Amino acid sequence: MVPPDDFNPPIGAAEQIAPGLRRIVAPNPSPMTYRGTNTYLLGTTEIAVIDPGPSDQTHLAAILAAVTPAQKITHILVSHTHLDHSPLAAPLSAATGAPVLAFGTATAGRSAIMRDLVRQGLTSGGEGIDTGFVPHITLADGERLRSADWTLEVLHTPGHLGNHICLAWEDACFTADHVMGWASSLVSPPDGDLTDFMAACRRLQARRWGVFYPGHGAPIDSPHTRLDWLIAHRLKRESAILETLSKGPGTAADLTSCIYLDIPKGLLPAATRNVLAHLIDLHGKSMVQTTAGIEIDAVFGLREHC
Ligand SMILES: [Zn+2]
């Protein structure tokens, strides 16, 4: 795996990264998007654009400029409806006539527990959901898409977002924000669900992969090592939460300040959401409980202490 700081791709230029595969990085770098969103152009004649990216005219022009007269964009695939991945789908479709394919609208694939928590008043962390997104064609788990140049298999991988999909291409997989090399994925309830996230990691781990192409950052050359790390990282976080709760009850924010000792202040709200995701997962496993409903400021305690 390329160490994060060694990933400095040109922004807005189509780079050949494998036979039949090009990548254009969008001009939206940030602490949440790293160098910017990776837009992939798969195929040599019939092109699938995977994750067109944020609403940005420069990026739209860069994608259109990368298509030669002998090529045609035939599919616009969206991994999930975060604002750094999906908004350019509609303008790209208008410019090319290609349909937009995705798992569904912003709340599609949301787990039953998260639907319940929304009904009980759990509010979103405001991570930038593309609420107006509507695909032309909805994709189902296990579905295969074929063109003259490529075959893709849809894998529904909820967790980072309920409608998140990965796309398998032979022994490669476009993992979007589910597995990335430079950071662990954000799981922020009620859009994100950690129980689903872990299940999707284990599902990916059960197959043989050669390489992952993430939504941000460099390709991952050791997919299984990365999946092992991701699962272990989450289990370590869970142990730290249980250990901290063994000293007494606390809110997600209290726990975050005890556990995340060296992260930039700007990332604390996202970290707090991650801790809340763990607390909801632990609540689902009957290991913690809360006296009131589950909200961002709810006080959680170990079950035997309540
Ligand atoms: Zn995302």
Q: Give the domain CATH number at 240.
A: 1.10.10.10
CA 9 to ligand 1 centroid distance, Å: 20
Domain annotation covers residue 130: yes
163/259 same-domain check: no
Question: Quick one: 176 and 259 in the same domain?
Answer: no
Residue 78 alpha carbon to ligand 1 centre in Å: 11
The parent domain of residue 120 ranges over 15-221
As for how many domains the chain has, the answer is 2
**Rounded distance from Cα 86 to ligand 1 centre (Å):** 10
Q: Are residues 190 and 253 in the same domain?
A: no
Find, among 97, 85, 91, 102, the residue nearest to 47 by Cα: 97
Residue 266 lies in a domain: yes
Calculate how far, in angstroms, residue 70's C-alpha sits from the geometric centre of ligand 1: 32
Centre of ligand 1 to C-alpha 303, Å, is 32
Question: How far is ligand 1, taken at its centre, from the CA of residue 305, in Å?
Answer: 36
Provide the pLDDT for residue 275.
95
Determine contact, residues 77/48, Cβ cutoff 8 Å. yes
Instruction: Let me know whether 37 and 173 are in one domain.
Output: yes
Per-residue pLDDT reduced to its tens digit, 258-299: 999 888 888 888 889 999 999 999 999 999 999 878 888 899
Residue pair 104/163 in contact (Cβ under 8 Å)? The answer is yes
Ion ligand 1 — residues with CB under 5 Å?
Answer: 82, 177
Mean pLDDT of the chain: 94
Residue 58 has pLDDT above 60, yes or no: yes
User: 177 C-alpha vs ligand 1 centroid, how far in Å?
Assistant: 5
In angstroms, what is the span from residue 248 Cα to ligand 1's centroid?
33
pLDDT tens by residue, 114-160:
998 899 888 887 779 999 999 999 999 999 999 999 999 999 999 99
Q: Compute the distance from residue 128 Cα to the ligand 1 centre, in Å.
A: 9
Whole-model pTM over 0.85: yes
Structural domain contains residue 272 = yes
